[in-house]
Amino acid sequence: MLCLFAVSTIIGIAAGAAGAVALTPLALGMVGFSVAGITAGSMAAGMMSTAAIANGGGVAAGSVVALLQSAGAAGLSSAATAGVASVGGAAGGLLGGAVHLLKRLKK
């Protein structure tokens, strides 16, 4: 049984990591962080407005909005890709383990 758990967990990790890396640019675009900049009227525009008001008129370098804008415009850096893959892999591993556990409980 341990072997099956390991296989389902490994499959979950791989799928989660690959899926997270592949879907992050799509998610950024849907929120409004695009290659052309922040889309007017989007959630990203609201975040930028809030950040600018909080910082006295400008978005602080290194802030969440600035990092997301950079990722939307130029793509993910190597470090960001590694971070996204790690989080996706962890989530996929948890899901794979949960599926295995539920299958065992049904028996």
Percentage of residues in the chain with pLDDT exceeding 90?
Answer: 66
Handedness of CA 52, 58, 60, 61 (dihedral sign): positive
pLDDT, one tens digit per residue, over 35-73 is 998 999 999 999 999 999 998 888 888 899 999 999 999
Rounded Cα–Cα distance for residues 51 and 53 (Å): 6
What pLDDT does residue 26 have?
93
Confidence of residue 81 (pLDDT cuts 50, 70, 90): very high
List Cα–Cα distances, 86 to 28, 41, 71, 94, in angstroms.
18, 32, 17, 12
How much is the pTM?
Answer: 0.76
